[in-house]
Chain A
Amino acid sequence: MVDNNGAENIHLEADCEKEQAAIKSGQKIGDYVLEVRGISKLFPGVRALSNVSLQLNRGEVLALVGENGAGKSTMMKILAGVYVPDAGEILLDGEEVSIGTVEQATKLGIALVHQELNLCDNLSIAGNVFLGREPKRGPFSSLVDVEKMNADTVDVLKKVGLNISPSIIVKELPIGTQQLVEICKALSINAKIVMFDEPTSSLSEHEAEQLFRVIRDLSSQGVSCIYISHRLGEVKEVADRVVVLRDGKLSGCIDKAHIDRETLIRLMVGRDIEKMYQKTHTISDKVRVELKDIIVPKRAAYPINLTIKGGEIVVLSGLVGAGRTELLHAIFGIDRCWAGKICIDGKELHIQKPIDAIRAGIMLVPEDRKANGLVIAMEVDSNIALPGLVDHLSKRGFINRDKIDELAVRMVKMLDIRLFRASQSAESLSGGNQQKVVLAKWLSMNPVLLLLDEPTRGIDVGAKAEIYKLLEDLAQTGVAILVASSEMQEVLGIADRIIVMCEGKVTGELNPLECAEEDVMKLATESFVC
């Protein structure tokens, strides 16, 4: 089986190489809107891209897939002029160009639709679409020609199938429509190439459908699209061709007829998924954590009930904005629960602040490592020691340096954190190692319930596997684990039980052994159907 796959892989890669060889020998030049040859990009400690080549036909929708950290975003940022590559060349319509800044990319007709919306939501649609390029009139061109701006905006809005007034303030639009405004921005510069960076991550199914229609429209008008996503279902639906990246290298290209899930995953992960997610832990019969009628602040008021047994890994799944982060924050005491009871080992807790949760053994690995997980500019050892300072690492208010050193060495060894010195700043570590430092912080405090919010976001495959292994080991020691994750493979791979949320409400519970991605997605978008 494994050999078979390997052979197929080579075949696919050979196809790509043949194509590249043909390009190098001078044939076909001019056939492509965009050609990227041998691009490499190094970051301190990481090689984000090495010798990647790809081609884009006129009016083609090319999907760029790969795991987090595979280099998709780096490639996109190079094309958009955010990064300058260390090696390689970029050809537009057969001519070599250098894209040093975002302005140059815009002039060359390359537009990027960001994953997070980059709109000034206090301005009108027209104001956003023409931001920085407003048509001028009046003496010294000092006034904005609002009428022309609005008229031009109506034209681009039509292209994406929107028939609304251009003077509506963006704040008042639903997220999906805001996404379309973002696309209008790209179209208004007459882009030849539009790049989409995970555009559906905050869209409902209906809104996503609409987006796909717009993409197909664009492609029929001769605009080429590069579509980044790791949702394999939608890749299959929208793409003409798929390029797979893995660890910064080209791992394969597949055309529409041959897109299938198995092949894609194999090319993306480069190893058997079963090896990545190995369930070895045993779940005890004892319920360790009970959440009763929890009402999460800032979300629609649906009480949440949940029990977790010792050694059980429960995964919260759902779309962005489903209320998972808010639930974890409420349990950890960042925002106080509005109502409900949290019990650990049968004892009810009164959590007012994070310190109360920590004392009870509840700890959170937050979604944003840099903003919340770590004091990023501080030393690794100080970060690891931070939560324990008031407890076991000090005496009468004075820090016990020896104990901190001892703890740091122990944790670095235990989690295999790769660093030169424990006193180097957390900033200088790779994403995976930073996440290990966050875990080290809490492991030193003996957690009972470990909360993890998107624990492997932006981490390379190797470190991911290590983190999964760590969670396995933790579960084996009887710790209850609650993970919020948007990555479908991860959800299905590590969970003992999946809880799906949608708009602040628990919409279902699934057994990962008996369900598929589609079942999870269906529940995750349940309340959008109406």
Chain B
Amino acid sequence: MLMDNKVTKYIKGMKRVGGITFLLLFIIVITVIIQPRFFTAYNIRNILRWTGLFGILSLGILFVLITGGIDLSVGSVVGLIGAISAYLMVHAAWPVWAVIVFIILLSAFLGLLHGLLITKVHMQPFVVTLCGLFVYRGLARFLMDDRTQGYGTSFPGIRFLAGGRIPSAFWPEGAAPKIFQDWSFPMPFLLLVALGIILAIILNKTVYGQHLKATGRNESAARFSGIHTDKIIILAYIACSTFSGFGGLLFSLDLNTVQPSSLGNSYELYAIAGCVVGGVSLRGGDGSILGVVIGAAIVRVLYNAINVAGVSTQLEQVVLGLVILIGVAADEVIHMIAARRKIHESMALAQRALGEGKASAFVK
């Protein structure tokens, strides 16, 4: 019985996300009891759309968090790229595909810059990305001259990415059956699921994923094992900024108007909150994609629940902060209890072995 079989592995994986799935359901049930209107097709659709938009940011920052770093520039990248994409499409009249290629390259370049400064110049991730937070926000305002950018009613093709719904989109406008008119998935959520599946494969099945986890847990040991840790870390920052840039495009399409001074403000904190609720440790080395998606959903559901349940909007951040705090604290306490029980068990084992005069308690 040296290797785990598939079932034990599956159970282990479920145990990790079990707690937060329960938390999500708990919040939903409570909200529905207080205000049944929560469970309307329109409201659920909204939650899914927002979960998709913020979830993509969370997935991006997850890789950076696994390295044990942090990226505070996410929100400013969202603002900068969101503004630039609207400007290029509307004012500069670039073809849509060219804008997409350009913003992906631009945001990847910003990530590369962060990664290089962190690994080669040995700056702290917090400092590098804090500077990014200021610089990109200022740049967005300067380049747009603080003017609001918008798409108007043009570009239906690309706007489908943010506003479209499937499967109702397979029918002509208004012709879909009633059930699909109500219960179709918003595109951002589907994008989140697709990206999540891709990232889950990268994280769990590829050499890069394994190297990323090893580097996050113990960079030095990873280096002593022949892993090019700098490269691993740089790639994580590139992924993070690219996801933020893509998110910026989606947010600008979704809102249709982009205010360079405000789009994306403090979104990095929501992205991190989603990860933290999803069980990611800021110490690095660990994180589950499914957990992050559920975590992002919890944050959005909470926001929505507060509104729907009629809690004063001034209080919404208080509630959000407290729920995250309690959730993470509960998780830590549960882990502590489990760890303590494990120690007691092995102590008992050792004591028994001592009594029997065995050489070691750890014999196969």
Residues of A at the B interface (CB closer than 8 Å) are: 42-47, 50, 332, 334, 353-355, 357-358, 364, 366, 371-378, 381-382, 385-387, 389-390, 394, 397-399, 405, 408-409, 412, 418-423, 429-430, 433, 441, 462
Alpha-carbon separation in the docked complex, A441 to B214 (Å): 14
Closest A-B pairs by Cβ, 4 of them: A44-B346, A355-B226, A358-B226, A375-B218
Alpha-carbon separation in the docked complex, A376 to B220 (Å): 11
For residue B213, which residue of chain A has the nearest CB? A378
Cβ 8 A contact of A44, one of B209, B224, B226, B343? B343
Chain A residues within 8 Å of B214, by CB: 375, 378, 382, 386
Sample 11 A-B pairs with CB under 8 A, ordered by A number.
A334-B224, A355-B227, A371-B218, A375-B217, A377-B217, A378-B213, A386-B214, A398-B207, A419-B364, A441-B225, A462-B359
Question: Is there an interface contact between B363 and A418, defined as CB atoms closer than 8 Å?
Answer: yes
B358 to chain A, nearest CB (A): 10
Residues of B at the A interface (CB closer than 8 Å) are: 1-4, 205-211, 213-214, 217-218, 220-228, 285, 343, 346-347, 350-351, 353-354, 359-364
Question: Is there an interface contact between B3 and A397, defined as CB atoms closer than 8 Å?
Answer: no
B340 to chain A, nearest CB (A): 12
For residue A378, which residue of chain B has the nearest CB? B217
Alpha-carbon separation in the docked complex, A394 to B206 (Å): 8
Question: Is there an interface contact between A42 and B221, defined as CB atoms closer than 8 Å?
Answer: no
Chain B residues within 8 Å of A418, by CB: 360, 362-364
Q: A375-B217, A375-B221, A382-B214 are in contact. Are A399 and B228 (CB under 8 A)?
A: no
Alpha-carbon separation in the docked complex, A100 to B329 (Å): 28
For residue A433, which residue of chain B has the nearest CB? B362
Question: Is there an interface contact between A45 and B361, defined as CB atoms closer than 8 Å?
Answer: yes
Question: Is there an interface contact between B362 and A42, defined as CB atoms closer than 8 Å?
Answer: no
Cβ 8 A contact of B4, one of A43, A378, A421, A430? A421
Alpha-carbon separation in the docked complex, A354 to B221 (Å): 11
Chain A residues within 8 Å of B217, by CB: 375-378
For residue B353, which residue of chain A has the nearest CB? A47
Chain A residues within 8 Å of B350, by CB: 42-47
A7 to chain B, nearest CB (A): 23
Cβ 8 A contact of A371, one of B205, B207, B220, B362? B220
Question: Is there an interface contact between A421 and B3, defined as CB atoms closer than 8 Å?
Answer: yes
Cβ 8 A contact of B210, one of A382, A409, A430? A382
A332 to chain B, nearest CB (A): 8
Question: Is there an interface contact between B225 and A409, defined as CB atoms closer than 8 Å?
Answer: no
Alpha-carbon separation in the docked complex, A371 to B223 (Å): 11
Chain B residues within 8 Å of A355, by CB: 226-228
Alpha-carbon separation in the docked complex, A442 to B363 (Å): 24
Question: Is there an interface contact between A354 and B2, defined as CB atoms closer than 8 Å?
Answer: no
Question: Is there an interface contact between B224 and A373, defined as CB atoms closer than 8 Å?
Answer: yes
Alpha-carbon separation in the docked complex, A399 to B360 (Å): 35
Question: Is there an interface contact between B206 and A398, defined as CB atoms closer than 8 Å?
Answer: yes
Alpha-carbon separation in the docked complex, A47 to B209 (Å): 38
Cβ 8 A contact of A47, one of B224, B354, B364? B354
Cβ 8 A contact of B3, one of A43, A372, A422? A422
Alpha-carbon separation in the docked complex, A408 to B3 (Å): 9
Alpha-carbon separation in the docked complex, A458 to B359 (Å): 17
Chain B residues within 8 Å of A385, by CB: 210
Question: Is there an interface contact between A397 and B226, defined as CB atoms closer than 8 Å?
Answer: no
Q: A389-B210, A397-B207 are in contact. Are A373 and B2 (CB under 8 A)?
A: no
Question: Is there an interface contact between A389 and B211, defined as CB atoms closer than 8 Å?
Answer: yes
Chain B residues within 8 Å of A372, by CB: 220-221, 223-224
Chain A residues within 8 Å of B205, by CB: 398-399
Alpha-carbon separation in the docked complex, A441 to B226 (Å): 11
Question: Is there an interface contact between A430 and B362, defined as CB atoms closer than 8 Å?
Answer: yes
A364 to chain B, nearest CB (A): 7
For residue B364, which residue of chain A has the nearest CB? A418
For residue B346, which residue of chain A has the nearest CB? A44
A459 to chain B, nearest CB (A): 13
Alpha-carbon separation in the docked complex, A423 to B9 (Å): 10
Alpha-carbon separation in the docked complex, A382 to B286 (Å): 14
Alpha-carbon separation in the docked complex, A245 to B285 (Å): 39
Cβ 8 A contact of B206, one of A332, A353, A399? A399
